[in-house]
Structure 1
Amino acid sequence: MQMQKPSTHRIDKTIITRNSNVDPEKTSITKATFDDGIENYEVALPSKPICDYSDWRSDICNMTGDIRTNGYNNSTIFFIPPADTYVPKEQQWSINPYSQKMYTYLINYVTVKQLRGPQGASTCTVNMNVPAILLSIGGPSAPGNIWHAFTDVLIPLFLASKPLRGEVQLLISSYHQDFIDKHSLILKDLTRYEIINFDQDEEVRCYPQMMVGLLNHRDFGIDPDRAFDRFNMFRFRLYIRNTYSLPVDVDIPYKVHDSLTDKKPRLMLILRSSTRKFLNQEEIEEAITKNGFELVQMDLKNGDNLTKLSKIVDSCDVLMGIHGAGLTNMVFLRTNALMIQVIPLGGSHMNNGAHGYYDLPAQEMKLRTIHYTITVEESSLLDKYGWDHPAIKDPEAVSARGWQDRQKYYWFEQDVRLNVTRFEPVLTKALELLKE
């Protein structure tokens, strides 16, 4: 009896056996010749691994083929490449599906398995003909922090899903119904399909394409060079305004009503409820009204109804607050409105954060900014620790010790007693800008 010769693969002019250690994924070759002992035919080789850890902010997997989910108590995605693709061995990746992989708390990791064939994969119970995106809303987004919600979830998800015009299904890991309810208008605009709680989903859902994880460009920002249609933060703010049924092409409220001689610009004062609070709120409010503004208060404890809140912010000309998540509501301001950021004690670390997290995004959204850096005497840390404590004497040295010390002193223990006499020139400047 004539013996059949062993199956081999030919890459360029090299013959390798099926059990060879050559890894086609590490080559630049996209085709190989398959010889099964009877006939030759070509197969495609994977051009690169489907999962990529190389971005310092985000882990991403992109798959096209036969994709099957197994969420309940398993958190696994099975990927079966197209039949004409040669996969030398099964591979597996553990993925943090939160867009900033530095955050690992309150995050359920997802396993992505690339199989050689359908053997070992569960049978589909739901077949979809649209792509899917699997993402996490755990981590710092879970407690309801609006800055992290936009930075880590809503902006990256918008960039990934908006080009699909609603023809995409969202699978959510580390699911929180409060997050879904709070941001429902945006989510309903990005997908026409049911949003799936992936960790509790007992169905085996099958898709032709899937992205696991989201690409995060930078803090509260978009890099136009990496975005579809060179999208930017100005256009994103207009998108948010449109989503919340706010007028898009309209001047600031003060200018719209400038024919009324008694009209005052409206200033929304953000009142934080826990850390970095204003200790002399009444004195600040009096200074605001004395310097020609109509005062509007925003208590962050009542910020869950974004539809209602967005309309109040839209009616204001100025958003003012201590460095913190409440300033994220600038996305509801009109073009050329003003943000006043009060920067607490904390040295260059706090100043850099204030610029990168809020001033820069505001300027990219075509808003105007003023920042006010407090003195040591305006920080509650002086009363608590005295002049000789390192947190007072040398914020740079304390910050250099690491994030834990920075958080303890400057983020969690600090409140502000604003020197209104020193602050009043900021209000004068703000009024001048609004009148330009």
Structure 2
Amino acid sequence: MQRTAPVHLLAAHSNPPPCDSTHPFPAILFSIGGFAGNFFHDINDVLIPLFLTAGHLRSRAQLLVADFEPWWTQKYRRVLFHLSSATDLAVASSPSTPIEPKVHCFPAAVVGLKYHGNLLCNSTNAPGGVSTLDFRSFLHGALGLKEERAAGAEKPVLVLISRRTSRALLNEDGVVALAREVGFEVEVAAPARMTSVGEFAGVVNRCGVLMGVHGAGLTNMVFLPAGAVVVQVVPWGLDWAAAAYYARPARRMGLHYVEYHTAVEESTLYDKYPKDHPVLVDPWSINRQGYDVSRPIYTDGQNLTLDLARFRETLLQALELLPRPTRPR
């Protein structure tokens, strides 16, 4: 909340200043402070809640942005303007860009966004009964992606989300070679490749398998075609987070889901702690102490070396879930 500006509501009988700008549509006031800037949080904390709040208005809304950052709104411009018939965004506050104080007047306003849970649209509690699948369809439409199902191919494409700091695959080259040996065409996506949402969305939309170690990059599964496969490598001690943030959402999006649970010996934590330490033998006892305790250890403090013989079975399982290639008669 330190990155989120407060909003003050004035009593109805107060004397408002005259309008500098009068808008014909209701305002939807939302913040891009908080954890925005991390792709999981961009989708989970801002874009899905914005879809839940504004989607049923059928674009007859003016988006009013608090904690405005030009780079963020430019990055998601196509998505934002798919929710609004206004030609621009109204800015309520900006921590880094000086803005001229203005009085914006609206016929009505919604202050804050609806939130249903991790990458979730709960259709029983949403206007129009929209679901997570509806959000996925909206996102594909906003970015001009195909809505087709994953197609069979002789060598299906596997996009590997490559991590560079925490939770990195120390034998990534071996994993890539194994995936190619099993029968995949592999594209390695380093962080720099994911900066353009529209461009990388197109890459993911054309692949059959999205694979990565637990982390924000797996949120790119929102761009996959229906029937594609998500492969999540679950680091030591992160079972709960893996299930809550990616496993259950993947299935709600009509995707196949496969996970690989690393053994403790595959984590660099194994060489950092005594073999009887709770970090190694009882991760839940660490997680129960709160995120401030567990994050430096399990989220930020380990890298992985996968057992390739064991991981082969995971890749074969993902391959088996894909449609068979269509052969000409």
Give your verdict on TM over 0.5. Answer: yes
Are 2:316 and 1:423 equivalent residues in the alignment?
Answer: no
Which residue number corresponds to residue 25 of structure 2? Answer: 130
Deviation of the 1:170 alpha carbon: 1.2
**Alpha-carbon distance between aligned partners in 2 of 1:201 and 1:172, rounded to the nearest angstrom:** 14
1:222 maps to what in 2? Answer: 121
1:314 aligned to 2:205? Answer: yes
> Counterpart of 2:96?
none
**Structure with the greater alpha carbon radius of gyration:** 1
Q: For 1:410, what is the secondary structure of its paired residue?
A: helix
1:247 is matched with 146
Shift of 1:145: 0.8
Q: Look up the match of 1:361.
A: 249
Which residue pairs with 1:181 in the alignment? 74
Find the aligned partners of 2:300 and 2:2 in 1 and give their Cα distance: 19
**Structure 1, residues 269-299: CA drift from partner, whole Å, max 9, x if none?**
1101221111111111111111111111111
Q: Supply the distance in 2 between the matched residues of 1:209 and 1:138 (Cα, whole angstroms).
A: 23
8 Å contact 2:150–2:323 — kept in the other structure?
no
Counterpart in the other structure of 2:5: 108
The answer (yes or no) to whether the contact 2:56–2:128 under 8 Å persists in 1 is: no
Q: Is the 8 A contact 1:132 1:169 kept in 2?
A: yes
Q: CA offset at residue 428 of structure 1?
A: 1.2
2:169 aligned partner: 278
Cα distance, 1:325 vs structure 2: 0.6
The 8 Å contact of residues 273 and 301 in structure 1, kept in 2 or not, is answered as no
Tell me the alpha carbon deviations over residues 361-403 of structure 1, each in whole angstroms, 9 at most, x when there is no partner: 1111100000111000011111222424331132111111111
Which stretches in structure 2 are left out of the alignment for 5+ residues?
94-98, 325-329
Give 1:233's aligned amino acid.
T
> Aligned-pair distance for 1:419?
0.8
Confirm or deny that 1:393 pairs with 2:281. Answer: yes
| Structure-1 separation of matches of 2:15 and 2:139 | 44
User: Percentage identity across aligned positions?
Assistant: 34
TM-score of the aligned structures, taking structure 1 as reference length? 0.71
Post-superposition offset of 1:201: 4.8
**Alignment length (residue pairs):** 318
Residue pair 1:235, 1:365 contacting (<8 A) in 2 also? no
CA contact (8 A) 1:169 1:195 kept: yes
Contact 2:157 2:208 in 1 (8 A): yes
Cα deviation code 1:145-197 (max 9, x no counterpart): 11100111001111111222222111111111121111111011111222122
Write the distance in 1 (CA, Å) between the matches of 2:176 and 2:207: 16
Q: Which residue of 2 aligns with 1:412?
A: 300
**Amino acid across the alignment from 1:228:** P
Q: Residue 331 of structure 1: which of 217, 222, 225 is its match? A: 222
Moved more, 415-424 or 377-386: 377-386
Higher helix share: 2
Alpha-carbon distance between aligned partners in 1 of 2:156 and 2:193, rounded to the nearest angstrom: 23
Equivalent of residue 40 in structure 2, options 113, 138, 147: 147
**Cα distance between partner residues in 2 of 1:275 and 1:177:** 28
Match of 2:327 in 1: none
**Greater percentage in strand:** 1
Matches within 5 A, 1:164-179: 164-179=57-72
Q: 2: CA distance between counterparts of 1:163 and 1:130?
A: 14
- Equivalent position amino acid for 1:319 in 2: L
How many Å separate the matches in 2 of 1:396 and 1:342?
18
Q: Does 1:342 align with 2:233?
A: yes
3-state secondary structure, aligned to 2:24: coil
2:133 match: 234
- Over aligned residue pairs, what C-alpha RMSD do you find? 1.4
